[in-house]
Amino acid sequence: MTLRTIRKTEKSRDITLFLDDKSVGTLPIKVLPLFVRPGEEQEITADEAEQLWPLLKNHARSLLLDYLAKAEHSEHQSREYLRKRRFDAAIIDELIDYCKEKKFIDDARYSEIYIRSWLKRGIGLKLLRSKLREQRIAQSIWEPLLQEMYEPEDGFDTLKSQMQKYISRQKEMSYNKLKDKTFGYFVNKGFDLDMIAGAWRELQ
């Protein structure tokens, strides 16, 4: 079995390991077994390869738990975090399952926090749905939460308040030009066209 190790720079504390040209993850140089020669390609035995797996798993677990301790993250974000560090898929799957079981990763909880954050910023429902889809979370998880948390009346009041401020900041222009500009701005913010038209009428 061929072991290849790559160190990004001479000052890097971590090293990426490849077994038979397949990336299996990163390890701090200080925890490498004595048989590993950093920066070299070498042949190792199956027993030596087996020694690497607990080290890789422990390091990946430590990285992931530290990542999750700093902020709420989705399953997709957590997987990507480990993938970028070149960990083997089996290690990633095992750790994600462990963190979901322990509720360190909870896509419903993440979705609720995410929805609340964007609602506070005053974006429209269409844009919010688009942003939720970008999070790679199943719609069956976030859609019920969105229906529960989003109040159309509040959305309309938010839109009307934002529109009033937006119009007050505009330079003098014709009615039609101001209307087109205002409608375009709030369509881009994800508000429904009928809601925009309703807010516009109430402000005239």
The 10s digit of each residue's pLDDT in 138-183 is 999 999 999 999 988 888 998 999 999 999 998 888 888 999 999 9
Can you tell me the distance from the alpha carbon of 155 to that of 125, in angstroms, rounded to the nearest whole number? 8
Rounded to an integer, the average pLDDT of 5-9 is 85
* Phi, psi for 39 (deg, rounded to 5): 85, 0
CB under 8 Å to 136, separation ≥6 — which residues? Answer: 74, 76
Is the pLDDT assigned to residue 10 strictly greater than 80? no
Confidence band, pLDDT 50/70/90 cuts, at residue 39:
confident
Strand partners, 41: 4
pLDDT at 8: 79
Can you tell me the distance from the alpha carbon of 126 to that of 134, in angstroms, rounded to the nearest whole number? 13
Can you tell me the distance from the alpha carbon of 42 to that of 53, in angstroms, rounded to the nearest whole number? 17
State pTM to two decimals: 0.82
